[in-house]
Amino acid sequence: ISQFIAIDDDSYEEVWDRHLDILLRAQTRTIRAALPHLRSSGAGRIVNIASTEGLGATPKISPYTAAKHGVIGLTRGLAVELARDGITVNCICPGAVRTAMTQDFPEEHKQIFAKRRVPLARYAEPEEVAHGTLNFVLPASSYINGAVLPVDAGLTIKNA
């Protein structure tokens, strides 16, 4: 979900609420539902999904940007809050990924964007994002907590 909208648009607050509900509150609700099981395991792992947009900003998508920044804040806050329960909380920030959200973008536009902005000059496949996530749930990763990992082929570094 992402929608281009100016802050002075009449439907801005409706768009804002929808983005927060879907992109931030849904993750919070999921974590709350899983928390009893994670606590009883003594070594739970939470991996939130944000976006490179949570590490930066793009004009006219501020509801999306704010929600993704919120996911990163949620991750960091819960990493501290849940650590004593043996639960780690980390976050993946995918960049340009071939997903249902991007499938309707014209291929030519995707190629132009990738060549101009992504150092590896291509969109990621979903499996590549999954591999980044896997790093946080391995037993050997039990000391990684509160981390925010861009899986973006260097997009955030290039555009910093």
Write out the catalytic residue numbers.
64
Q: How far apart are CA 72 and CA 95, in angstroms?
A: 15
* Rounded distance between C-alpha atoms, residue 92 and residue 51, angstroms: 7
> 46: which DSSP letter?
E
Cα gap 88→86, rounded to integer Å: 7
> What's the token pair of residue 137?
């749930």
